[in-house]
Structure 1
Amino acid sequence: MKIKSCAVKWLVFGGFSAGVSASCSALQCAEQPNFIIIMADDQGYADVGFQDSPDIVTPNIDQLAAKGLVFENGYVCHPVCGPSRTGLMTGRYPHRFGLQVNTPFSQTDEDWGVPLEQRFFAQDLRTAGYRTGVIGKWHLGATEKHHPNNRGFDFFFGFLGGGHNYWPADYKRMRDWQFMNAKKDQPAVSPNPEAISYMLPILHNREYVETTGYLTDIFSDEAVDFIDRNKTRPFFLYLAYNAPHKPLEAKPEDLEKFSHIQSEKRRKYAAMIYALDRGVGQVRDKLEKERLLDNTMIIYLSDNGGIVENPELASNGRLRGQKGETFEGGCHVPFVVHWPARLKAGRTDGIISSLDIYPTLLAAAGLPVPTDRNLDGFNQLPFLLGQASMSARDGVFARRWLGRNHTVGVRDGDWKYDFVSQSGETGLFNLKTDIGEKNDLSAQYPEQLQKMTAMQDKWNALNTPPKWIEPGWYWPEHREHAVQVILSFEEEMAAHDGSLKE
């Protein structure tokens, strides 16, 4: 099935959409569906089987794609983890309220997190009787008021920061090393507060728990248990894997399956995705066993593009750029919607954004889409159900703040506009014929360039300055010390057992 996207009218809030308030009346009296969002972390656009990856195997994700709707133009709202997840939960560009950079990890600073006035759609679903759970990576604030249990989720199992080690022995050794150095009156950890989150035990709601085994498998098992506990009532599960985000750590038996990959880094990366894919299969099998599969909407996507700075790691295929950039490789991600009872399987070139998930899920649950806040997401339910022949969205914005320098990407139909403030460089590309953004058409189409520049200016006028500067590793004055701390840790571990951290 090939569905053509269409141009949409500009709405008063300056973005490509403000949430559509009408919900699907046919679903009002039907059994409420379950929802599962499965989000990978830093997975490349081309690193799935259904995108013809030559070396990475994902049979379970591919099965979702084969029986679901694959969006060839699926986007997230930001090219790095925290802001992307913020947009998913709020249905708004994180730039609207100053979250253009990753939320710094702090368990004491109450300001470090998504502002409480920004409502998460899990709160709407829970109010409507859904059982809500998040498993895996949070990255939306680490203080009590920002805890998942206070942001619409009945159940939380995972970690609050932006990353975590995959083997318990690794983060236990890191903590031991930290305490050892503290006794020597040496710096315990790097000044990057995010490093602390990699060391902490996993949380079950608000209680730390000691885990055994590989973290991706643990999250998958917890997801199956969550479904089992809530199979008699509508539920929403946000399964936010941290794989294949660094550190690159994989199970030996999974690594063996990718011995054909010469690069050690890509081999580990592939094995990490394989473990994630295994979890997708576990979730699908559990739904099928409980006869819940047909009435469960599963959405699979990555939080941003893959890291391809080293060509031996991720692959974004023909897309230019990578994680952290506003070229297509930063925000254009694998995106599948699977709902056997309601969706016809196929592929579409219609544009969809992670921002659209908020209003679309509420509409699918028979709930009114909020009109009391300026959502940037569209209700895509009519498009998914075949009631509309074209996507409700015709474009997306992306902006990465890097202090005085920033990059911008704007898509409008087939056109893409790129801007880099530091150099003043602009580019205009036709993605229909040039998905790799190689042939700059600015000189040939000055009116289109002017139009898209004005669109960016109008959109950006409604944004606010960052609440904090780029945290952690991005502080130049801290980089040298941070590297020294990591090397010191590696030397300690090498002397201890001959191992080196990735």
Structure 2
Amino acid sequence: MKKVVFGILIITGLGFIFWKEILFLILVQIAAPKDNVGPNQEVVWQQGPDLRDDGRPNIIVIVADDLGINDMTNYDNLDPSGTVNTPNIDFIANTGIKFKNAYSGSATCAPSRGMIVTGRYASSTGYEFTPVPDGMARSINLFNPEETRYLAENVENNPLFDNQGLPPEEITFAETLNEAGYYTAHIGKWHLGRGPKFAPLTQGFDESLMMASGLFMPENDPNVVNAYLPWDPIDKFLWAILDYAASFNESSERDNWFKPKGYLTDYYTDEAIKVIESNKNRPFFLYLAHWGVHTPLQALKSDYDELTYISDHVERVYAAMIKSLDRSVGRIVESLQENGLSENTWIIFTSDNGGAGYIGLRYINSPYRGWKLTLFEGGIRVPLIFWKDGIEQRQLTQRATHIDIMPTIHGLVDNLLEHEVDGIDLFSDQYDLNSRPIFWKTGHNKVVIKDNWKLQVADYPDKKWLYNLAEDPTEQIELSLEHPEKTTELLALIKQHSDGATETLYKPPLLANIEIDRTLKEVSEDGPIEDEESVWVTN
């Protein structure tokens, strides 16, 4: 009897000591997919005609994930501080049309993607926050309770993760191009919902090879090098729940998962080239949405081994991931040239938002302040490149944003949109890009940029930040007290925009305090520092 009591006491004591780990395991079981992942399946794409009789241009949209503006070596005259060379992205930037002041639609993934595919603000669609896997917000709060707030009521009232999708009533660029006679294909990340209601096939794509989970390769594969981020609760959760999986033409939630073939970025590129070759004799639209360089950080060992000059392991893995992303762009260009399509195919390259501070690398958004999740320049500055062989190289300083991609595509293919969008055709003479206001809204955190002035407002903290981006593009000198009339003018624009907003479809599960000028690794290792600026972001 004494042994039983003693055993119960030991178990109870261990449970008290390791309650966080036990609860985390429970949350992982809730969040982890219950599906079996089958062996690799050969993807057979639709085959176009033998001869081409339609001269309209093809369109390829390539979206990187969490790529910092300074992760490219030659984009904005910035001084790279440790990242890898990106010769292929540099090539399309330097021989195409490069927008040097381009912005993401949001500081996080899903809203930006919603704006890319619809040309409409999140305030118009209601798709304002990034859905996260069930249990993820609670896990983040569990390991970082001082800097996060778990919004239990929102979680209880939201649908499950798979059903937090972009409404099918929204019209996507795949739908409009499909109606115009284009073959439409999607490869990679979607993050706009799953299943018969929200998956790519219901949003205008003829075919879709979807990222079903989130590992670039199996964690123990001898051809992969992993980097773990012990300071980041998101990283801990992702490693615990993610699998190495894809699905083709998914028609029901979590349908027919199978293993990809090789490193994920290269696999998506292989399949993109198959789409190009299969459809070279008809107008096609390819949406290639890479997972790189999002966490979990996994690099192909052969790429990692080439970067011996980088001593920091995390930085080296991250740089190797950029290397594979850059290789993808080069292989797409090469495929177009080999198939005689490079002079009649537009490549549009961007990222969904700025680089993430939680990976612990300070330079990725340099010299701009802020990270993914924040509406400072580092969180929303992205590349935006339009390229095809033979066009005049241009560098444009006008401000462009994700909502402009859809209407600009329709201008390139000479197909007039028949419904209203918030973005504009960037190459049309009828718009003044310099004078229009551009808006961001993520819960209480809101921004407008107009006439080179940027005003950001927040409730947590209750604060305003006003910057003159023409003179201070890196947001060093806050001017709201010196220019009260400009602050009032821009506040009125923000209010007008917010007052006309569609009600948010899904509520944020978490509030998180993000420092503007320090990475999460620095915050974790050095602790709080007085007067460091931060903002509580909703996601």
Give the TM-score band, short-chain normalised: 0.7 to 0.9
2:381 to 326, 332, 349: 332
How high is the TM-score relative to the length of structure 1?
0.77
Please give the alpha-carbon distance, in whole angstroms, between the structure 2 residues aligned to 1:197 and 1:144.
Answer: 23
Report what 1:437 is aligned to.
475
Residue matched to 1:312: 361
Alpha-carbon deviation of 1:446? Answer: 1.1
From the superposition, tell whether residues 241 and 212 of structure 1 become closer, same or farther in structure 2 (CA, over 3 Å): same
1:352 aligns with 2:404: no
**Paired AA for residue 285 in structure 1:** E
Contact 2:58 2:285 in 1 (8 A): yes
Would you say 1:395 and 2:423 are equivalent positions?
Answer: no
Aligned counterpart, 2:224:
none
- Does 2:403 correspond to 1:365? no
Conservation of the 8 A alpha-carbon contact between 2:435 and 2:450: no
1:368 to 1:87, Cα distance in 2 relative to 1, 3 A: same
Residue of structure 1 aligned with 2:181, choices 129, 137, 144? 129
Give the match's secondary structure for 2:257: strand
Shift in alpha-carbon separation, 1:393–1:32, aligned structure 2, 3 A: farther
| TM-score, normalising length: structure 2 | 0.72
Partner of residue 486, structure 2: 448
- Report runs of 4+ in structure 1 exceeding 4 Å deviation: 104-111, 192-197, 387-390, 473-476
The alpha carbon displacement at 1:147 in A equals 1.2
Alpha-carbon distance, 1:340 to partner:
3.2
Unaligned runs of 5+ in 2: 1-52, 135-158, 222-233, 251-255, 514-539
How big is the shift at 1:475? 9.7
SS at match of 2:318: helix
Instruction: Look up the match of 2:109.
Output: 81
Aligned to 1:414: 452
User: Retained in 1: the 8 A contact 2:458–2:464?
Assistant: yes
C-alpha distance in 2 between matches for 1:369 and 1:378: 11
- Letter aligned with residue 426 of structure 2: Q
- Equivalent position amino acid for 1:354 in 2: H
| Cα deviation digits, residues 130-149 of structure 1 (max 9, x gap) | 11111110000012211111
C-alpha distance in 1, partners of 2:203/2:220?
Answer: 30
Secondary structure of the residue aligned to 2:131 is coil
* Partner of residue 202 from structure 1, selected from 246, 267, 281: 246
Choose 234-243 or 438-447, whichever is displaced more: 438-447
Matches within 5 A, 1:145-224: 145-160=197-212, 164-168=214-218, 198-199=242-243, 201-206=245-250, 207-224=256-273
Task: Give the corresponding residue for 1:464.
Answer: 502
Which of 96, 99, 112 aligns to 1:68? It is: 96
Equivalent AA in structure 1 for residue 214 of structure 2: H
In structure 1, the residue matched to 2:85 is 57
Larger relative contact order (CA 8 Å, sep ≥ 6):
1
**Relative to 1, partners in 2 of residues 1:429 and 1:122: Cα closer, same or farther, differing over 3 Å?**
same
Give 1:174's aligned residue: none
**For 1:197 and 1:95, how far apart are their aligned partners in 2?**
31
1:474 and 1:444, CA in 2 relative to 1: closer, same or farther beyond 3 A? closer
Residue identity opposite 1:376 in structure 2 = D
Cα 1:111/1:253, change in 2 over 3 Å = closer
DSSP-derived class of the 2:299 partner: coil
Q: Which amino acid aligns with 1:395?
A: P
Residue 298 of structure 1 aligns to a residue whose secondary structure is strand
CA distance in 2, matches of 1:310, 1:287: 34
Number of corresponding residues: 415
Match of 1:250 among 288, 299, 302: 299
SS of the counterpart of 1:115? coil
Asked whether the 8 Å contact 1:78–1:304 carries over to 2, the reply is: yes
Give the corresponding residue for 1:381: 427
Which string of whole-angstrom CA distances, capped at 9 and with x for unpartnered residues, describes residues 318-377 of structure 1?
211110011111111111111335x42121111111101111111221211223x3x111
Segments of 5+ residues of structure 1 without an aligned counterpart are 1-28, 172-189, 477-502
Pair 454,388 (structure 1): closer, same or farther in 2 beyond 3 Å: closer
Residue 169 of structure 2 is aligned with which of 117, 129, 138? 117
Aligned to 1:139: 191
CA distance in 1, matches of 2:167, 2:240: 22
Task: Write the letter of the residue equivalent to 1:399.
Answer: K
Match of 2:72 in 1: 48
- Tell me, yes or no, if the aligned pair for 1:108 and 1:143 is still in contact at 8 Å: no
Contact 1:126/1:132 (CA < 8 Å) preserved in 2? Answer: yes
Q: Kindly provide the CA deviation profile for residues 183-237 of structure 1, in whole angstroms up to 9, marking residues without a partner as x.
A: xxxxxxx9x9988973262112124222231111101101111100100000111
For 1:134, give the aligned amino acid: H
Distance in structure 1 (CA, Å) of the matches to 2:162 and 2:189: 19
Q: Which residue is equivalent to 1:236? A: 285
By how many angstroms is 1:31 displaced? 2.6
Distance 1:390 1:458, change over 3 A: closer
Q: Is the 8 A contact 1:88 1:354 kept in 2?
A: yes
Instruction: Label 1:133 to 1:393 Cα distance change in 2 as closer, same or farther (>3 A).
Output: farther
Higher Rg of the two aligned structures: 2
Amino acid at match of 2:404: D
Please tell me whether the aligned partners of residues 130 and 233 of structure 1 are also in contact (alpha carbons under 8 angstroms): yes
Q: Which residue of 2 aligns with 1:37?
A: 61
- What's the counterpart of residue 156 of structure 2? none
Paired with 1:36 and 1:323, the residues of 2 have a C-alpha distance of 25
Matches of 1:150 and 1:369, distance apart in 2? 20
Change (3 A) 1:158 1:465: same
Q: Distance in 1 between matches of 2:292 and 2:161?
A: 27
The structure 1 residue matched to 2:119, chosen from 75, 91, 113, is: 91
Give the 3-state SS of the residue equivalent to 1:292 in structure 2: coil
User: Quick one: structure 1 residues 170 and 454, their matched pair in 2 at CA, closer, same or farther if it must change by over 3 Å?
Assistant: farther
Distance 2:410 2:476 in 1: 39
- What amino acid is aligned across from residue 369 of structure 1 in structure 2? L
Quick one: structure 1 residues 267 and 367, their matched pair in 2 at CA, closer, same or farther if it must change by over 3 Å? Answer: same
- 1:339–1:135 Cα change, 3 Å: same
Provide the C-alpha distance between the structure 2 equivalents of 1:434 and 1:63, rounded to a whole number of angstroms: 29
Secondary structure of the 2:365 match is coil
DSSP-derived class of the 1:243 partner: coil
**Judging changes above 3 Å, is the alpha-carbon distance between structure 1 residues 142 and 319 closer, same or farther for their aligned structure 2 residues?**
same
RMSD over aligned CA atoms reads 2.7
**Alpha-carbon distance between aligned partners in 1 of 2:244 and 2:332, rounded to the nearest angstrom:** 27
Partner Cα distance (2:482, 2:326) in 1: 45
Once the two structures are TM-superposed, the CA of residue 469 in structure 1 deviates from its matched residue by 2.5
Distance change (3 Å), C-alpha of 1:194 and 1:154: farther
Please report how far the alpha carbon of residue 127 of structure 1 lies from its aligned counterpart in structure 2 after TM superposition: 1.2
Distance 2:239 2:201 in 1: 23
Shift of 1:468: 2.3
User: Is residue 90–residue 358 contact of structure 1 (8 Å, CA) maintained in 2?
Assistant: yes
CA distance in 2, matches of 1:466, 1:389: 29
Cα drift, residue 251 of structure 1: 1.0
Q: Secondary structure at the match of 1:439?
A: coil
